[in-house]
Amino acid sequence: MLKHLYSGKVRELYQTDGGLLLLVATDRISAFDFVLDTTIPDKGKVLTKLSLWWFERLADLVPNHLVQAPADVPVPPEFAGRAMAVRPLRMVQAECVARGYLAGSGLTEYRRDGRVCGIALPDGLEEGSRLPEPIFTPATKAPRGAHDENITFAELARSAGAELAAELRRITIAVYERGARLAAERGIIVADTKIELGFDAHETLVLGDEVLTPDSSRFWPADQWRPGRSQPSFDKQYVRDWLLSPESSWDPNSRQPPPPLPDRVIERTRERYMQAYERITGLTWPD
């Protein structure tokens, strides 16, 4: 029997009779702190398969929450391909973000005061500019429907403790650098990424949730990278851009729910998720 524990923006969490967890990625998509009414077919399967691929390639850097004998966990047929059997974690209450390029909230902060999460950056950077080196830019972990707020490393150290904050920074940068290097071999720029970490039953800090997916990262085609503009991407930026376009007629400041996505936006978003999977892994997506 599975007991439902929690609904996130994208994932559902269930507990098994043996105390293990089943993490199920749905086809829901979120943007601007809203979960859209429209789903993206196969999105949850892409997130799951790509996370599994990355967990294997990051295991020497940081352990993860995957159960090594998932056959012991009952998976209902409707969850096939989109579920991961995982160990329970006591999650760190912070979003761990690494940035190698200037985009998103980092760009907004830089334009305001030349800093991102308190880190001073060189003058003259543009949207999409490569940073001198990857930076760790933590954020608060907001509840569903609320907005994560960027914080400085000093603020993280005060809330989590200096030793843990330093370890979070070390792991996050290491994951980003490994991911960026492997993706670059496939012609993909990882502009930034967000990971989640937690403590297992042995108080070991491990990687949880998902890792280096189109939901948690910005993936740009390297051959089309041009600083000074919004970059083409293999992630949900396509949905964000449509929601901000005149066609959608939606104002994100209104706090009204976004409109449904048109069929062509759904299909093109699905294509981008598939392309991210295929280009990064070198594998062909199943029909």
H/E/C letters for each residue in 17-55? CCCCEEEEECCEEEECCEEEEEECCCHHHHHHHHHHHHH
pLDDT digits (tens, 9 = 90+) for 136-195: 999 998 665 556 789 999 999 999 999 999 999 999 999 999 999 999 999 999 999 999
Tokens coding 98: 């690494």
Residues 82 and 99 in one domain: no
- pLDDT for the residue 75: 84
User: Which of residues 86, 114, 139 is at a domain's end?
Assistant: 86
Cα–Cα distance for residue pair 287/265, rounded to 1 Å: 20
CATH number of the domain bearing residue 70: 3.30.200.20
Weakest-pLDDT range from 20-34, 124-138, 165-179: 20-34
Residues 25 and 105 in one domain: no
pLDDT digits (tens, 9 = 90+) for 204-252: 999 999 999 999 999 999 999 999 999 999 988 899 999 999 999 999 8
CB 260 within 8 A of CB 249: no
Residues 162 and 261 in one domain: yes
Does residue 128 register a pLDDT over 90?
yes
Cα–Cα distance for residue pair 2/13, rounded to 1 Å: 10
Residue found under tokens 């294509």: 271
pLDDT digits (tens, 9 = 90+) for 243-282: 999 999 999 888 899 999 999 999 999 999 999 999 999 9
Cβ burial of 258 (10 Å; 0-12, 13-18, 19+) is buried
Tokens coding 245: 């376009």
Does residue 287 register a pLDDT over 60?
no
In a domain, 181, yes or no: yes
The answer to whether the pTM exceeds 0.85 is: yes
Residues 82 and 113 in one domain: no
Residues 197 and 259 in one domain: yes
User: Which of residues 86, 121, 151 is at a domain's end?
Assistant: 86
Please name every residue paired with 198 in a beta bridge, in sequence order, or none if there are none. Answer: 91, 206
How many domains, the chain? Answer: 2
Residues 110 and 73 in one domain: no
- pLDDT for the residue 69: 59
Tokens coding 239: 């949905």
Q: What is the CA radius of gyration of the chain?
A: 19
Domain span including residue 18: 2-86
The three-point CA angle 246-250-254 to 5° equals: 140
Determine the 3-state secondary structure of 182 from DSSP: helix
Strand ranges for the chain from DSSP E: 2-7, 11-16, 21-25, 28-31, 34-39, 83-86, 90-91, 96-101, 115-116, 119-120, 130-136, 188-199, 205-208, 217-221
- pLDDT for the residue 283: 94
Residues 79 and 192 in one domain: no
CATH number of the domain bearing residue 263: 3.30.470.20
Residues 37 and 76 in one domain: yes
In a domain, 282, yes or no: no
Greatest CA separation for the chain: 57
pLDDT digits (tens, 9 = 90+) for 55-108: 999 999 999 999 965 666 778 889 999 999 999 999 999 999 999 999 999 999
Residues 133 and 206 in one domain: yes
Residues 260 and 133 in one domain: yes
| Mean pLDDT score of the chain | 93
CA 156 distance to own-chain centroid: 20
In a domain, 227, yes or no: yes
Among left, alpha and beta (phi > 0; psi -120 to 50; other), residue 191 is alpha
User: Which of residues 64, 86, 108 is at a domain's end?
Assistant: 86
CB 66 within 8 A of CB 178: no
Residues 130 and 246 in one domain: yes
Cα–Cα distance for residue pair 4/278, rounded to 1 Å: 32
Residues 152 and 67 in one domain: no
